Structure 1
Amino acid sequence: MMFSGERLRLARHRRKMSGKELAAVSGLTDVTVSKAENGHQPDPETVRRLATALSYPSRFFYMDEPEILEPKAVSFRSLKKMKAAERNAALAAGANGIALYGWISSRFHLPRADLIDLSREQDRPSVAARLLRQHWGIGDRPIGNLLRLFESKGIRVLSLAERNHNVDAYSFWHGDSPYMFLNQMKTAERSNFDAAHELGHLVLHFHAQAESAPEDDAERQANNFASAFLMPEADVKSSLSSIYSASQIIKAKGRWKVSAMALLQRLFQLGMVTEWNHRSIIIDLGRMGYRTGEPVGVERESSAVLSKAFAELWRRGITKNDIADDLGLPLDEVEALVFDLAGVQSHKPDRPSLALVP
């Protein structure tokens, strides 16, 4: 097999190293690293040094060419705040995520994507949210488990490997499969909103997130979509009235599993709180710790697909170490992709169930 320069670049990006830094750590010259990334076949000792410096198995660099994600095809929520190294590391994690799901889908029958192209509704994100709810047949009721719903509709959900507030979530289409990466550092409520935000990107900016609309417009559209999707106007108005205090917001937010601030903003958007009350409640919520967290929170959701897949693999004697070996990845990369998403479920999983590939 030929040494893959693209795989070397991917591993370097995952470790957030520049070519010069990798050369220094591996005891090689800048020229040697550059040549290896650009098609020159390095000798075994050079590969050993590179693999050791990156903590990647040597065999990773001799596997088939990886899937390379282009920045323009990925919806990054905080692109302006991101450093190039953060962006490249996240893109490389996306490539590893595709590889992981390729491994899983070769062994299990996964749900097919059931999203619709709503790009014509970019200027009417609340309409888009209602249309998608209608397409999925869920009406205006609150969504019990957001991630399970998404996965049942073919969205491949993974944990964001970056423990970084500048990279909080992103999504993209790869072929006919939508992918969503979520940062697990946030509260469960804010992660739910991030997930709905990324769903907005997937349907509003179908297959071309960054090119469909200017970044600020795309983010605003996805935010408005998320708010309307999670908190449908009809349900909010039938459930709440005469909102005038922070305690009412805190009591009500659990119905939609959103943050107190997100619910307050939705109520203001729907004209259900006055501007004066809006400002007053924001101040009160801030004093109570709801600007940066959720003192009274909901349980974090996990992935039904990953939970069921790993449970079945464990039953067959296949561990995460085995998966990492098959993919040529370090175990920490696999762990990062499924962090807090593949916990053992304490109740019977919802349909659709996974079927093994014969």
Structure 2
Amino acid sequence: MADTVLVYGHRVRQARTIRSSPIKPLAEMLGLTPSAWTALERSASTRMPVLRVRALALRLRFPQEFFTSPPAGLPVHRGSLLLRAKKSIKIAEIDALTTFAEMVQELWQVLSQHATHPPLRLPKNLLAGTTPEDAAALTRLALDLEEGEPIPHVTHAVERAGVPIVVADIGMPDAKHDAFSVWTGDFHDEPLIVARPVNSWERTRWSIAHELGHLVMHHGALPEAAEDEANRFANAFLFPAAALEMEWPTTVTLATLMPLKRRWQMSLSSLIMHGRHNQLLDEARATGLFKQLSARRDPVTHVTWRVQEPAWDELEPERPRLLAVMTERGMDERPSAELFSALTGGWSKDLMQEVVDGQRPAPVKAEAKRGLASEPVSNVVDFRRRA
């Protein structure tokens, strides 16, 4: 038995799914049948020759100790993702996202042992029939956001409400999706938002608001109209209808919508949809504006405005920092792939590097860096190290 080690089946499945590796070639490499491989993944644990574990680790680009460390937390089932996938999307692509969520949740649980994080402050138990617009208003209230004013930093506002956000270059299965969200934890009471990095600040803000809508309204199975509801929530969360009606231009053109885009930090496309839904714009005029977005091109990049709107480069896309803050203030260390891998039983460093790269550095402590300008108080969450 000295030349064998105990391997955990779910760890094998996690490594395979996040690498999007088919079962058959992996099974053949280890001299197993596909059915035997499936049995391995479904087993709580099994003993495996050290040489096989070494070959498995090399093939999937994971450290050997990952497979011999017990998994933390409950699995995230593909049905838990608040993502309405098209029929053309492969199950393997969804499984890769669920495994990535498991990895982040494991990291979150470990960091929570070292530092406190903001308590969850999302509206709960919405009444049947609550509209997306009402849900957005309740959420703004829960997040202590000023009524009728733009949200300075959507990502930080959501993080201050206790929702961790990760920006990572993951393979989203649908080009139309920039993010996904999920309820994790033993009681499905721990939310998570994962977004891929894009160079459009308005798309980033809107995607986070869209996923926040899913978390608030869809704590369970997704209804048929889930995407439309999340779209409406995002628009109303970013730009409440009362303010929209007050500031809506008398003559609606792309030029007259630009001041609203800059003030409320929303795309022209979402403003058009928002105005149409609130009956400030008729269907024909909205269609005409969308055609103009498709016809006009950036003079430098030559990309149409429908793909890359004007002013896309005036602001930096928002990035989260909650995980970085918890790491630095709870462990007195800067986030790194090596640290995150060690904390979570050996998740591959290249995956953890994606998480690290998507985080903004934690705010510098005043007592450690005197003389440096501190960040606005509204963006800083007071953390303390856990005893």
Asked if residue 29 in structure 1 is aligned to residue 39 in structure 2, the reply is no
Note the aligned Cα RMSD (angstroms).
2.4
Q: Which amino acid aligns with 1:43?
A: P
Q: Structure 1 residue 118: deviation in Å?
A: 4.8
Unpaired segments ≥5 residues, structure 2: 297-303, 364-372
Using the size of structure 1 for normalisation, the TM-score is: 0.89
Q: Report what 1:73 is aligned to.
A: 80
Contact 1:241 1:272 in 2 (8 A): no
Asked if residue 182 in structure 1 is aligned to residue 211 in structure 2, the reply is no
Contact 1:121 1:204 in 2 (8 A): no
Comparing 50-59 and 323-332, the one that deviates more = 323-332
SS at match of 1:180: strand
Q: Report what 1:112 is aligned to.
A: 119
SS at match of 1:261: helix
Q: Structure 1 residue 123: deviation in Å?
A: 5.3
Task: Tell me the matched-pair count.
Answer: 352
CA shift digits 1:228-285 (9 cap, x unpaired): 1111011122223213211122332122222110011111222222333222221212
Q: Structure 1 residue 311: deviation in Å?
A: 4.6
Q: Report what 2:210 is aligned to.
A: 197
CA distance, structure 1, for counterparts of residue 309 and residue 327 of structure 2: 31
Aligned partner (choices 115, 121, 132) of residue 125 of structure 1? 132
Moved over 6 A (4+): none
Change in CA separation of 1:21 and 1:248 when aligned onto 2, cut-off 3 Å: farther
CA distance, structure 1, for counterparts of residue 88 and residue 206 of structure 2: 19
CA distance, structure 1, for counterparts of residue 75 and residue 251 of structure 2: 49
SS at match of 1:324: helix
Asked if residue 295 in structure 1 is aligned to residue 310 in structure 2, the reply is yes
SS at match of 1:306: helix
Comparing 154-163 and 197-206, the one that deviates more = 154-163
Q: Structure 1 residue 121: deviation in Å?
A: 4.8
Change in CA separation of 1:81 and 1:234 when aligned onto 2, cut-off 3 Å: farther
Using the size of structure 2 for normalisation, the TM-score is: 0.83
SS at match of 2:15: helix
Q: Which amino acid aligns with 1:355?
A: R
Asked if residue 170 in structure 1 is aligned to residue 187 in structure 2, the reply is no
Q: Which structure carries more helix by proportion?
A: 1
Aligned partner (choices 323, 346, 352) of residue 340 of structure 2? 323
Contact 2:330 2:386 in 1 (8 A): no
Q: Report what 2:19 is aligned to.
A: 15
Q: Structure 1 residue 92: deviation in Å?
A: 0.4
Comparing 110-119 and 272-281, the one that deviates more = 272-281
Q: Report what 2:384 is aligned to.
A: 355
> Percent identical across equivalent pairs?
24
Unpaired segments ≥5 residues, structure 1: none
Q: Structure 1 residue 313: deviation in Å?
A: 7.3
Q: Report what 1:59 is aligned to.
A: 65
Q: Structure 1 residue 22: deviation in Å?
A: 2.1
